[in-house]
């Protein structure tokens, strides 16, 4: 009993650094903001009433919800069949498809947004081509409207939706479909009666996740949407940077937060009631990301391992042959989706080699002048260098404290663990602008606005969540008896961790560090609020460029940012494959 | 480590382990002698794994004390104890080769590289795995993994060896082979060994003594033969092998023994004889009880044939060794069962 209690105390102790950072940078200011919005110490809801009495505010709130609903629905409608087809594909093809969806997921959102500006703009790809072929005489208005906004939002969110759904669908035992078929169910009936119901919980959490992230969209509405397509984030950001009306910022943030929380809990609860899983679902919806990221590790492991017994049952009774029409239709759909996801980046990469003094497609000549311009301009490469440094610092900080927390949490009681998990994951489950606003005030309390330390702390808030999620997922698959075995051989707690636990969860830690770096390297919203114009990261520099003058150098930067995650991905696969083949390569002849 | 004796005595003094309000182990007292092979047998949930965890030091007792060679170890964490454990499904480190796995306990005890290598070489040879030192555990078959696990538990020469369902993951043929291996290793190394299992056959073949556990308490402790032949309770009788409980029947069970220990008469299926109703009674007929019945079912199991016979309101199981010239009965046949009255046992309910 003593040892157990001691263990639990150590567990909480290990999670302490994370909790302190979270509370100081994010928790306390969030409470302060809430109190401000309630006019503390008088406590009244007058601010909320005033906020909601202004028709302009109400319009922004409703519009935010409406845009998010439509974008989420579009993601779901396109994403579900795509995910289904990816899962149904033969293994090698499936891995290729998953990687192709993962590349845009890991590519800088700014680079992708920029790509759409290049495609839809007045002198963009589509208008240029149409003009060239004489189909139109003056440019069409393709950008700065609601349609462009949806195209951009769905483009950003679709990979997350598809990957989440693939993760869920891979967990569904395919032999169940075969069983249904053996009992006389035609393929479509088998799908409706067996596969679809089993996928519902995953669909719900993926949808909620996408919806809540959509609520916090800031860059796309500001760069692709029209003047009227303002979302709450834009409204709040402009309040922070221009008028700085504290009360109205606080009130607006909590209206947005309230929408997110209401949707997360009520929708989750309501649907769960019909399934009799009432107690678990709100938690599960918050843990939608674990499934996504945990899956990331899993699929990479699967990628590198030739044969896995646990997948065997799922494949043994795989039904085949669904008819030629669905098959061709499916191929066309997947092709279209992949084109939609990948073509913009390809366009940007091609354009970045343009030799003209402005960006055009197809480029009239090839040159490296924009890359030269990038590496020759201190403002650009300085920003890139700053981002790199900040990214590494964020990755280091969040990997260390996040791994400690995940390890500590894994030894506390399940109930405490899930509560603390919800707390730690808050920064990535609520709209990012709210996190940004809270961090702004948190760092202001500490006098760190406009400092690198401040930016690093603010970005670590989200990065820590990713590390905790992915390391926890790895620890969940880790066999505790290996630690007991080490201890039975006289390895003390530290030796056990260093010699057994750490080497075995290393892939998860590397993955977490990688995601933390990417998170930092692509962060705009929080950084723009806390940087105070004195710290210029690459995303901030890009964002400034997108908004003001479009410098063709941006094309070179965007291409570099597109190629970077591909290199990362390849590098990680190589590392994983090497460690896997060393430890897990099965030799059939040994099974005598 | 050189000072440590080759084996140790283990003593449980009224040990209780509570999880919340539930006692996984209650007031358990037990002594394991030096060099003894003791098996803790019980169904799942009987607390046998908790006993092992207590012994290993992964959980501390809520009440009572555990002594190893006379010294209390209740407060000593697992990594300060001197013991070897073979875990269920082995817990071999997947990221280390067989050799590195085997070196681990030696390294933790601060042994020099040269001596480690020598010991690893010796033990690999002893478990016939000298060519497999550089493989990873996943590249070994189940039986080879089992041998590595045994070698790893024994290599540092600990006075105590703990086995947690050691053969659970193996198929039947391999299990028999490994039983032989464990037995010969026990004989050779002379370690005090505590094995936890739910497999009665494993318990009967390996152990010097068996502890049968039920709901956190010891039901009976005895040698395998006594335990099987003279079970104290109906639970032990049923858990260890098959038992015919002769209770609530239409006929009177005749008894020889003057002072039966329990109240419920029980007889093992292999002690029953089955014959055609017309067969004359045997010479020792006056020491036997005869009852008539009807065959309900016949199950052929290789060397054995099992009959389910309806007798006076109940069903008795008869186990007969297959032999030539035997009459084979079919369901519906009228038969006569008989047994020696001295083969009856009386157990407590």
Q: Domain for residue A45, yes or no?
A: no
B74 and B151: one domain?
yes
B141 and B119: one domain?
yes
A464 and A329: one domain?
no
pLDDT per residue over A424-455, tens digit each?
Answer: 888 888 888 899 999 998 998 899 988 999 99
B152 and B220: one domain?
yes
pLDDT per residue over A154-178, tens digit each?
Answer: 999 999 999 989 988 888 887 787 7
**Which has the minimum average pLDDT: A119-133, A199-213, A269-283?**
A269-283
**A582 band by pLDDT with thresholds 50, 70 and 90:** very low
Q: How far is CA B197 from CA A189, A499, A591, B26, in A?
A: 47, 30, 25, 19
What residue of B is the nearest CA neighbor of A579?
B95
Give the percent of chain A with pLDDT over 70: 85
Domain of A565 in residue numbering reads as 57-370+552-581
Residues of B in contact with A489 (CB under 8 A): 79, 84, 104-105, 108, 152, 156
Burial class from Cβ neighbours inside 10 Å (0-12, 13-18, 19+) for residue A544 reads: middle
B146 and B174: one domain?
yes
Work out the minimum CA distance from A433 to partner chain B, whole angstroms.
Answer: 43
B57 and B196: one domain?
yes
Q: Domain for residue B99, yes or no?
A: yes
Instruction: Tell me which residue has tokens 């358990």.
Output: B28
Q: How much helix, strand and coil, in percent to the nearest 5, is found in chain B?
A: 30, 35, 40
Kindly compute the dihedral angle of the four CA atoms of residues A153, A155, A156, A159, in this order, to the nearest 10 degrees. 140
Instruction: Tell me which residue has tokens 């500590």.
Output: A408
**Which has the minimum average pLDDT: A168-177, B121-130, B160-169?**
A168-177
pLDDT for B98? 95
User: Which structure tokens are listed for A572?
Assistant: 């990680």
User: Which structure tokens are listed for A118?
Assistant: 């290049």
Q: Closest by alpha carbon to A591, among B131, B142, B93?
A: B142
Contact B138 A582 (CB under 8 A): no
For the segment B97-123, the average pLDDT, to the nearest whole number, is: 93
Kindly tell me if the per-residue pLDDT of A585 is higher than 60. Answer: no
A118 and A238: one domain?
yes
**For residue A75, how many other CB atoms are within 10 A of its CB?**
27
Contact B78 A584 (CB under 8 A): no
What residue of A is the nearest CA neighbor of B89?
A481
Q: Domain for residue B116, yes or no?
A: yes
What residue of A is the nearest CA neighbor of B81?
A490
- For chain A, the residues whose C-beta falls within 8 A of a C-beta of chain B are 1-4, 479, 481-482, 484-493, 495-496, 499-500, 503-504, 582-587, 590-592
**HSE-CB of B290 using CA atoms within 13 angstroms:** 14
CATH of the domain at B261: 2.40.50.140
Interface residue of B59, B68, B78 to substitute, partner A, most A CBs within 10 Å:
B78
Q: Domain for residue B17, yes or no?
A: yes
Instruction: Tell me which residue has tokens 């020099």.
Output: B112
Kindly tell me if the per-residue pLDDT of A290 is higher than 70. Answer: no
Kindly compute the dihedral angle of the four CA atoms of residues A75, A77, A80, A82, in this order, to the nearest 10 degrees. -80
Q: Report strand pairing: B288-301 vs B334-340.
A: antiparallel
Q: Domain for residue B2, yes or no?
A: no
Contact B79 A493 (CB under 8 A): yes
Q: Domain for residue A592, yes or no?
A: no
pLDDT for B159? 93
A258 and A359: one domain?
yes
- Pick A590's closest partner by Cβ from B18, B85, B139: B139
pLDDT per residue over B272-305, tens digit each?
Answer: 999 998 888 888 878 888 999 999 999 998 899 9
A205 and A91: one domain?
yes
**HSE-CB of A145 using CA atoms within 13 angstroms:** 8
B89 and B129: one domain?
yes
pLDDT per residue over B195-238, tens digit each?
Answer: 999 888 889 999 999 999 999 999 999 999 999 999 999 999 99
Kindly tell me if the per-residue pLDDT of A112 is higher than 70. Answer: yes
- Total number of domains in chain A: 2
User: Which structure tokens are listed for A147?
Assistant: 């349609």
pLDDT for A45? 85
CATH of the domain at A411: 1.10.3720.10
B214 and B256: one domain?
no
Contact B136 A585 (CB under 8 A): yes
Q: Domain for residue A421, yes or no?
A: yes
B38 touches chain A (CB under 8 A): no
Q: Domain for residue A513, yes or no?
A: yes
**B260 band by pLDDT with thresholds 50, 70 and 90:** low
How far is it, in rounded angstroms, from Cα A252 to Cα A235? 9
Work out the minimum CA distance from B34 to partner chain A, whole angstroms.
Answer: 20
B217 and B303: one domain?
no
Q: Domain for residue B4, yes or no?
A: no
DSSP line for B312-344: TTEEEEEEEE--TTPPPP-TT-EEEEEEEGGG-
A10 and A73: one domain?
no
Judge whether A16 and A217 are in contact, CB under 8 Å. no
B184 and B303: one domain?
no
Choosing from B222, B238, B254, the residue where a domain stops is: B238
A392 and A496: one domain?
yes
CATH of the domain at B212: 3.40.50.300
Give the percent of chain B with pLDDT over 70: 97
**Which has the minimum average pLDDT: A195-209, A237-251, A501-515, B40-54?**
A237-251
A331 and A411: one domain?
no
B80 and B149: one domain?
yes
Q: Domain for residue A587, yes or no?
A: no
SS3 for A95?
Answer: helix
SS3 for A276?
Answer: coil
pLDDT for A185? 78
A357 and A495: one domain?
no
Residues 6+ apart with CB under 8 A from A338: A97, A100, A101
A112 and A186: one domain?
yes
A348 and A199: one domain?
yes
User: Which structure tokens are listed for A560?
Assistant: 């570099």
Work out the minimum CA distance from B59 to partner chain A, whole angstroms.
Answer: 7
pLDDT for A317? 52
Judge whether A211 and A235 are in contact, CB under 8 Å. no
For the segment A258-264, the average pLDDT, to the nearest whole number, is: 85
How far is it, in rounded angstroms, from Cα A36 to Cα A42? 10
Q: Domain for residue B3, yes or no?
A: no
**For residue A226, how many other CB atoms are within 10 A of its CB?**
15
Kindly tell me if the per-residue pLDDT of A272 is higher than 70. Answer: no
Choosing from B238, B265, B281, the residue where a domain stops is: B238
Q: What angle do CA B74, B80, B86 make, to 5 degrees?
A: 90
A356 and A384: one domain?
no
pLDDT for A278? 31
pLDDT for A577? 66
- Pick B91's closest partner by Cβ from A479, A491, A503: A479
Work out the minimum CA distance from A166 to partner chain B, whole angstroms.
Answer: 28
B79 touches chain A (CB under 8 A): yes
Burial class from Cβ neighbours inside 10 Å (0-12, 13-18, 19+) for residue A490 reads: buried
Q: Closest by alpha carbon to B85, among B165, B172, B189, B11?
A: B165
Q: Domain for residue A46, yes or no?
A: no
Strand order in the sheet with B345-347: B244-245, B264-267, B345-347
Reported as type and span, the H/E element at residue A175 is helix A174-182
pLDDT for A275? 32
Kindly tell me if the per-residue pLDDT of A300 is higher than 70. Answer: no
**For residue A448, how many other CB atoms are within 10 A of its CB?**
20
Residues of B in contact with A3 (CB under 8 A): 59-60, 77
Q: Domain for residue A49, yes or no?
A: no
Contact A583 B140 (CB under 8 A): no
A251 and A305: one domain?
yes
What residue of A is the nearest CA neighbor of B132?
A590
Q: Domain for residue A431, yes or no?
A: yes
- Pick A590's closest partner by Cβ from B78, B108, B140: B140
How far is it, in rounded angstroms, from Cα B220 to Cα B227? 8
**B252 band by pLDDT with thresholds 50, 70 and 90:** confident
Residues of A in contact with B75 (CB under 8 A): 2
How far is it, in rounded angstroms, from Cα A67 to Cα B274? 83
Choosing from B213, B238, B263, the residue where a domain stops is: B238
- Total number of domains in chain B: 2
Contact B93 A485 (CB under 8 A): yes
**A68 band by pLDDT with thresholds 50, 70 and 90:** very high
B99 and B149: one domain?
yes
Q: Closest by alpha carbon to B114, among B124, B106, B125?
A: B106
- Pick A488's closest partner by Cβ from B85, B88, B139: B85
Q: Where are the alpha helices (DSSP H) in B128-199?
A: 142-154, 172-189
Reported as type and span, the H/E element at residue A36 is helix A28-37
Work out the minimum CA distance from A584 to partner chain B, whole angstroms.
Answer: 6
Contact A489 B104 (CB under 8 A): yes
Q: Domain for residue B5, yes or no?
A: no
Domain of B249 in residue numbering reads as 244-347
**A468 band by pLDDT with thresholds 50, 70 and 90:** very high
pLDDT for B220? 94
pLDDT for A474? 86
Residues of B in contact with A584 (CB under 8 A): 94, 136, 138
B233 and B283: one domain?
no
- Pick B91's closest partner by Cβ from A1, A482, A592: A482
């Amino acid at each position: 009993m003593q040892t157990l209690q001691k263990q639990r105390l150590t567990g909480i102790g290990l999670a302490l650094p994370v909790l302190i950072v979270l509370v100081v940078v994010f928790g306390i200011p969030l409470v302060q903001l809430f109190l401000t919005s309630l006019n503390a110490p008088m406590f009244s809801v007058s601010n909320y009433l005033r906020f909601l009495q202004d028709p302009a505010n109400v319009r922004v709130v409703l519009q935010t919800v409406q845009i998010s609903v439509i974008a989420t629905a579009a993601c779901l409608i396109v994403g579900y069949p795509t995910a289904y087809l990816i899962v149904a594909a033969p293994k090698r093809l499936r891995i290729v498809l998953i990687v192709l969806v993962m590349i845009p997921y890991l590519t800088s959102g700014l680079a992708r947004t920029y790509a759409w500006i290049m495609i839809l703009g007045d002198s963009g790809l589509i208008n240029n081509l149409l003009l060239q072929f004489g189909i139109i005489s003056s440019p069409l208005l393709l950008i700065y409207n609601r349609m462009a906004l949806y195209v951009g939002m769905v483009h950003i969110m679709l990979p997350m939706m598809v990957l989440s759904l693939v993760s869920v669908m891979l967990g569904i035992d395919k032999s169940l479909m075969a069983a249904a078929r053996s009992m006389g169910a035609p393929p479509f009936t088998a799908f409706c009666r067996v596969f679809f119901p089993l996928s519902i919980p995953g669909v719900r959490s993926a949808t909620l996740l996408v919806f809540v992230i959509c609520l916090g969209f800031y860059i796309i509405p500001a760069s692709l949407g029209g003047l009227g397509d303002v979302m709450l984030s834009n409204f709040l950001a402009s309040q922070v940077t221009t008028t700085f009306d504290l009360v109205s910022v606080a009130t607006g943030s909590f209206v947005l937060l309230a929408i997110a929380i209401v949707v997360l809990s009520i929708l989750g609860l309501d649907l769960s009631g019909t399934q009799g899983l009432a107690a678990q679902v709100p938690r599960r919806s918050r843990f939608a990301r674990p499934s996504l990221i945990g899956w990331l590790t899993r699929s990479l492991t699967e990628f590198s391992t030739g044969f896995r017994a646990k997948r065997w049952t799922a494949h043994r009774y795989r039904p085949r042959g669904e008819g030629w029409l669905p098959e061709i239709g499916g191929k066309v759909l997947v092709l279209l989706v992949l084109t939609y996801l990948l073509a913009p980046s390809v366009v940007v990469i091609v354009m970045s080699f343009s030799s003209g003094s402005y960006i055009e497609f197809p480029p009239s000549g090839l040159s490296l002048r924009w890359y030269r311009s990038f590496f020759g301009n201190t403002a650009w490469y300085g920003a890139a260098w700053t981002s790199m440094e900040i990214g590494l610092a964020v990755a280091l900080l969040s990997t260390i404290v996040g791994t400690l927390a995940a390890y500590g949490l894994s030894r506390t009681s399940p109930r405490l663990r899930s509560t603390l998990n919800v707390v730690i994951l808050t920064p990535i489950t609520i709209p990012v602008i709210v996190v940004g606003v809270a961090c702004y005030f948190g760092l202001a309390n500490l006098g760190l606005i406009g400092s690198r330390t401040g930016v690093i702390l603010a970005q670590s808030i989200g990065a820590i969540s990713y590390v905790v999620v992915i390391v926890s997922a790895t620890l969940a698959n880790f066999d505790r008896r290996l630690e007991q075995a080490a201890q039975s051989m006289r390895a003390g707690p530290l030796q056990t961790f260093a010699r057994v636990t750490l080497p075995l969860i290393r892939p998860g830690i590397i993955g977490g560090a990688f995601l933390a770096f990417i998170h930092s390297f692509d962060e705009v919203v929080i950084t723009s609020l806390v940087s105070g114009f004195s710290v210029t990261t690459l995303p901030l520099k890009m964002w400034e460029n997108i908004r003001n003058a479009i410098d063709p150098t941006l094309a070179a930067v965007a291409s570099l940012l597109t190629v970077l995650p591909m290199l990362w991905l390849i590098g990680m696969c190589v590392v994983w494959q090497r460690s896997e083949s060393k430890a897990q390569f099965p030799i059939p002849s040994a099974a005598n | 480590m050189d000072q440590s004796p080759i084996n140790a005595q283990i003593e449980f003094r009224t040990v209780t382990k509570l999880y919340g309000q539930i006692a996984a182990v209650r007031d358990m007292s037990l002594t394991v002698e030096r060099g003894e092979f003791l098996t803790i047998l019980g169904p799942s949930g009987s607390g046998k794994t908790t006993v092992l965890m207590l012994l290993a030091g992964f959980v501390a007792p809520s009440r009572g004390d555990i002594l190893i060679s006379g010294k209390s170890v209740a407060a000593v964490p697992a990594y300060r104890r001197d013991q070897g454990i073979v875990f269920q499904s082995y817990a071999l480190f997947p990221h280390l080769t067989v050799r590195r796995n085997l070196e681990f306990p030696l390294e933790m005890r601060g042994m020099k590289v040269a001596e480690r290598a020598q010991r690893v070489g010796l033990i690999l040879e002893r478990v016939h795995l000298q060519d497999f030192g550089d493989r990873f555990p996943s590249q070994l078959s189940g039986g080879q993994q089992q041998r590595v696990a045994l070698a790893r538990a024994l290599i540092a020469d600990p006075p105590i060896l703990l086995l947690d369902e050691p053969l659970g993951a193996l198929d039947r043929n391999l299990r028999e082979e490994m039983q032989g291996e464990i037995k010969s290793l026990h004989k050779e190394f002379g370690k005090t060994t505590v094995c936890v299992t739910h497999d009665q056959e494993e318990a009967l073949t390996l152990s010097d003594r068996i502890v049968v556990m039920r709901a956190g308490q010891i039901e009976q402790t005895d040698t395998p033969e006594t335990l099987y032949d003279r079970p104290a309770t109906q639970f032990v009788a049923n858990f260890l092998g098959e038992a015919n409980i002769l209770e609530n029947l239409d006929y009177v069970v005749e008894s020889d023994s003057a002072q039966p220990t329990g109240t419920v008469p029980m007889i093992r299926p292999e002690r029953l004889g089955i014959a055609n109703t017309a067969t004359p009674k045997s010479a020792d007929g006056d020491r036997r009880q005869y009852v008539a019945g009807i065959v309900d079912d016949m199950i052929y199991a290789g060397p054995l044939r099992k009959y389910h016979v309806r007798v006076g309101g109940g069903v008795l199981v008869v186990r007969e060794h297959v032999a030539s010239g035997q009459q084979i009965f079919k369901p519906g046949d009228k038969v006569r069962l008989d047994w020696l009255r001295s083969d009856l046992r009386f157990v407590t309910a």
